Amino acid sequence: MGVLATLGGAFADFLAPTMLFHVVWATLLGIFVGALPGLTATMGVALLTTLTYSLDRDAAILVLICMYVGAIYGGSRSAILLNIPGTPASAASTLDGFPLAKQGKAGLALGVATMGSALGTLVGIVLLIVLAPPLAEAALNFGSFEFFWLALFGIIISGQLTQAGSPVKGYLAGVIGLSVAMIGSDGIHSHIRFNMGFPELNGGIGLIPAMVGAFGFAEILFTMTRPAAEVTDRKPEPVRLRELWNRAWRYKGTIVRSGAIGTSIGIIPGVGEDIGAWGSYAAAKRTSPERADFGKGSVEGLTAAETGNSAVVPGSLIPTLTLGIPGSAAAAVLIAALYIHGVRPGPMIMFDQPDFIYRVAVMLVFATVAILVFGLALTPLFIQVLRVPRSWLMPVVFVMCVIGPFALTQRLFDVWVMLAFGLIGYVLRRLDYPMAPLVLGIILGDLLDKSLRRGLTLSDGDLSPFFTRPISAGFAILILVTIVFSIPAVRGLFRRRRRTAPDTGGH
């Protein structure tokens, strides 16, 4: 009853006209950001974070969550109409969304994507409410030894899953992020390290300038080097809400399964929405009686992809709030915003601010309702937004990339940091290095560094507690197995053994 009362009180608070206004404009802006190729959810959250300092805690976090949810959903607009995902999270939606649009069913595809996104987020919200409190309680058993391995696991698993080719590139990106996190004074003795003669680096690299550069300026450079997309001239036909609901009910099993898969992927640190979409799509294709239609305009395939990527959003907030470990790149930016507004994510959140997790769940509900309403009512407007020339759009985004970091500290140095990380991010993108491990390395570097040194202090320099404590040993084994199975020779050997294993069934 206490949880229901807390949720009810949060609903009443967010029904205030000012809060509803924030829901409307932030979600709309998020959808536009997600729909425009070259703009990502992480970029939107990072840029908007710099504009929320004057807002109170709840309003600021509400605005950022609405931007996050809206942008992940908005990517489906360009994925369906342009065959170009607006965000990486919508890449799987192009497989069936664009074929449906070419068949003259763009309205159906847009409606199915909207319904799938809304239902997927709701599944994730339920799991957030159920899983976050016990996870926070379990995390109270973590000490410095366990947090060291947890931080390392986040970087390793992120590098493993976000790089389609060799995981080595993911690992190297994570090491670069960890190296950046070591710059400046250490968190225990305030000893200055690796400032390269620049006193401005004594406090370390600012997270927001680095994030805006890696996800904003780098994305501008990357987008401007790609050919422009042409939006379809075919107007989507209107689709009735009853028809969408009937289709959602027909694929209710797919929706629940994809929502659970997306939420589970979101809990894994740093993996992201694109993996949630692909995992859900693969599971639906493997079990569907209509698997032959997948890739040719399957409503079930589009539903699975959109449900999976949207469910990652509440899923990524579970480790973000309870462990202080971001579940996605956008959640990493959200951690910075939480600190700015006086919220310390981590195991103590259920004691310091026990109602905050439930307030976040209610924020997600309002954002979900908003994408459902806007997604069904404003499709013609979104099509016009997709026609905005990027030669007009990118200069505006660049100006925001400059203003945002400068507004934090009024230091021109932070603008140079943003530009430097933009160039580094662009080069890494061109070389097919993933950005998520790099960002996660910056975020988790401080936790990894402090936990290692505190653990060594507690054990008088003895490394054995890092391997003998039960949870630490479990993480160490998991990391070792992950690395070993990322070696191509080991993977190939394992596949050959599976293929040559004798069939013992049927006799």
Q: Taking 50 as the threshold, does the pLDDT of residue 84 lie above it?
A: yes
The percent of residues above 90 in pLDDT, for the chain, comes to: 10
Which is higher by pLDDT, 490 or 297?
297
Going by pLDDT thresholds of 50, 70 and 90, the confidence category of residue 501 is: low
Give me the mean pLDDT over the 151-179 stretch. Answer: 74
Q: Taking 80 as the threshold, does the pLDDT of residue 224 lie above it?
A: no
* DSSP-derived secondary structure for 162-176: S-SS-HHHHHHHHHH
Distance between CA atoms of residues 203 and 206, nearest Å: 8
Give me the mean pLDDT over the 245-264 stretch. Answer: 86
Which is higher by pLDDT, 201 or 488?
201
284 close to 257: Cβ distance less than 8 angstroms: yes
Q: Taking 60 as the threshold, does the pLDDT of residue 369 lie above it?
A: yes
pLDDT at 387: 65
Give me the mean pLDDT over the 188-210 stretch. Answer: 78
Going by pLDDT thresholds of 50, 70 and 90, the confidence category of residue 506 is: very low
Pairing of strands 184-185, 192-193: antiparallel
pLDDT at 22: 93
Q: Taking 60 as the threshold, does the pLDDT of residue 231 lie above it?
A: no
Going by pLDDT thresholds of 50, 70 and 90, the confidence category of residue 403 is: confident
39 close to 70: Cβ distance less than 8 angstroms: no
Which residues, including other chains, have CB under 8 Å from residue 226's CB and lie 6 or more apart? Answer: none
Report helix, strand or coil for 482. helix
503: phi then psi, degrees, rounded to nearest 5: -85, 115
pLDDT at 1: 47
191: phi then psi, degrees, rounded to nearest 5: -80, 130
Whats the size of the chain, residue-wise? Answer: 507
Going by pLDDT thresholds of 50, 70 and 90, the confidence category of residue 385 is: low
CA dihedral 285, 262, 447, 338 (to 10 degrees): 150
Residue pLDDT, tens place only, 62-78: 999 999 999 889 888 87
Q: Taking 60 as the threshold, does the pLDDT of residue 233 lie above it?
A: no
Give me the mean pLDDT over the 239-260 stretch. Answer: 82
Lowest pLDDT segment from 17-26, 205-214, 411-420? 205-214
Distance between CA atoms of residues 305 and 316, nearest Å: 17
pLDDT at 204: 80
pLDDT, averaged across the chain: 80
pLDDT at 39: 72
- Is the Cα dihedral 109, 31, 62, 269 positive or negative? positive
Amino acid found at 436: A
pLDDT at 384: 66
CA dihedral 172, 178, 182, 186 (to 10 degrees): -160
pLDDT at 62: 93
Give me the mean pLDDT over the 422-444 stretch. Answer: 81
Exposure string (b/e) for 133-171, b if CB count within 10 Å is 16 or more?
bebbeebeebbbbbbbbbbbbbbbbbbbbbbeeebebbb
The closest of 206, 135, 155, 169 to 418, measured between CA atoms, is 206
- Is the Cα dihedral 76, 81, 85, 86 positive or negative? negative
The closest of 396, 394, 414 to 405, measured between CA atoms, is 414
Distance between CA atoms of residues 360 and 120, nearest Å: 16
Residue pLDDT, tens place only, 118-148: 999 999 999 999 888 888 887 777 788 888 8
Which is higher by pLDDT, 368 or 463?
368
Residue pLDDT, tens place only, 309-364: 899 999 989 888 888 887 777 887 888 788 888 888 877 787 778 888 899 999 99
